[in-house]
Amino acid sequence: MSTNISATSSKRWPTIQFNVNGKTRMVKVPPMKRLLDVLREDLHLTGTKEGCGEGECGSCSVRMNGELVNSCLVPVMQAERADIQTVEGLALDGELHPLQEAFLCHGGAQCGICTPGMLMAAAQLLEHSPHPSMAEIREAVAGNLCRCTGFIRIFESVAATVAPQNASPATKLTTEQTDHAR
């Protein structure tokens, strides 16, 4: 396949329009391009991660029209006119989403690579089941692999989100509170 052929075919690529984190976005890309790659490469939303590329690990989980999907398995043409939420759309007005705050206080994130997908799976659960049992929490994140935590603190973080009396009394954390040198 030479560069010329790609250049010719790029003119035939359709424009695909969808909504990401409340904003209308248009991309002109191969229709079979993975939604994951469109988010990361074309829209520069690199919060969504690739772990396996075959729908096993859930690191690329995003919410699409109210469903949790593995964005590595979604050709972008299927996202035409869809409503998509990624990890970048969780925090609102500079304030951490309650799930993000709970993950921070309860050790739900270690290396952080599964965290965006894990947060989306947890957000999906809480939308449909505002007061989930521990069994529901386990099931909700069972499609998201974490190699660091052994999942225990992820369960606790999700549970703490809906049980504010258990949450750490830490001061309200904002997205700007990131005293990190890098």
The alpha helices in 59-149, defined as continuous H runs, are 98-106, 115-128, 134-140
Q: By CB under 8 A, which span of 10-18, 63-71, 74-82, 147-155 interacts with other proteins?
A: 147-155
Q: Is 60 in the site for other proteins (CB under 8 A)?
A: no
Q: Is 2 in the site for other proteins (CB under 8 A)?
A: yes
Distances, alpha carbon 61 to alpha carbons 6, 113, 115, 149, in Å: 29, 12, 10, 18
Binding-site size for other proteins (CB under 8 A) equals: 66
The alpha helices in 107-151, defined as continuous H runs, are 115-128, 134-140
Chain residues 26-55 in contact with other proteins, contact rule CB under 8 A? 40, 45-54
Q: By CB under 8 A, which span of 8-16, 56-64, 77-85, 123-131 interacts with other proteins?
A: 56-64
Long-range contacts of 124-131 (CB under 8 A, 24+ apart): 124/63, 124/67, 124/68, 125/158, 126/99, 126/158, 126/161, 126/162, 127/66, 130/162, 131/162
Q: Is 103 in the site for other proteins (CB under 8 A)?
A: yes
Q: Is 93 in the site for other proteins (CB under 8 A)?
A: no
Interface residues with other proteins (CB under 8 A)? Answer: 1-3, 6, 40, 45-54, 56-57, 59, 86-88, 90-91, 96, 100, 103-107, 109-116, 119, 138-139, 141-155, 168, 170, 173, 175, 177-182
